[in-house]
Amino acid sequence: MTTDRQSGVDLRELSTWRIGGSAASVYFPKDFAELSECVRRIREGGTEFFLVGLGSNLLFSTESIDLPLIVTRGMDACGRYDAINAARSVFSSVADAAGNAENLLYVEAGAPNTRVIQRCIELGLGDLTCLTGVPGSFGGAIAMNAESVVEVMYENLWLAEVNRQTGEMSVKPACDHTYKYRYCSVQESILGAVLLRLHPADSEETRRIVKERNEKRARKLPLNWPSAGCVFRNPPRDSAGALLDMAGMKEARRGGAMYSERHANFIVNVGDATSGDVVELMVLGKRTVWEKFGRSLQPEVKFVGRFNEADLEYLHTNLEENDGS
């Protein structure tokens, strides 16, 4: 296998939170074929693994991690379908049904959302402006249905996937998947690349929309500190940030981690925060919101590595379902 494999990797370099210890085994596939081969080789040894994009919604443990990681950030090709050899190879079976090649955009899973939007502007294609300001990779945005992007692109989106158990590659239209808030069923496999059918759009107008949305985001969010975005999901018909704010969480601090004074659903790393600092703050926030308002917050971030199991169990428990009153 030609995939780059490294050991002793500093996990702070793979997380937007800049938190984590070291990883014993990390694979960096450079394209869809390498991703498939990487999964196949790992699974042949009977080993599990964890998939990492740009690390924008992950909390790595400060203790070392033995579980192999597959990092897709090197899979970042993005451009018009007919200009990229890999695109024609992966999506040849659906290209005719997809329509005019000039309106087809090929994006590998590790491409940052910011780059994808910029490429659309350069090519005069739209409209992915719903992802303006969404951190992380395009593959992560599809898997998490960020800003309902799967629903927006539902009939104009094809997904190239790798089976998590066998490494087998397949291509499916988005309509073969199910989706809901913060979820697309492509999570059950591994998304390697996507093909989008877009429409011609005025580049200057798209640029104006993106600029306006980024400026609004910069005014509201603590972008000057490392974070993983919102740490809790919004409960039905409510706002996790508002609940945490009313519960007095802004500027609550443990070690190097702190609930932001600008947005209460952001925990920022203000100086050598550990994973334990973040988990302690999340437990505090969840418990305080429950005691004050009877709403049970659920984690938005994923935990990778070694943590206090009782804390994680509490964070993932729906207290409203367990309330006997």
Contact 77, 97 (CB under 8 A): no
39-54 as b/e: b if 16+ CB within 10 A = bbebbeeeeebbbbbb
Please indicate whether residue 120 is annotated as part of the active site. Answer: no
Give the separation between CA 224 and CA 196, rounded to whole angstroms: 33
What residues have CB less than 8 Å from 108, skipping those under 6 apart? 31, 32, 72, 75, 76, 77, 78, 86, 138, 139, 192, 193
The one catalytic residue in 80, 184, 230, 254 is: 230
Q: Are 294 and 253 in contact (CB under 8 A)?
A: no
Based on the residue annotation, tell me whether 130 is a catalytic residue of this protein: no
Catalytic-role residue among 182, 207, 253, 287: 182
**Distance (Å, rounded) from C-alpha 64 to C-alpha 59?**
13
Who's near 317: CB < 8 A, 6+ residues apart?
Answer: 296
- List active site positions: 182, 230
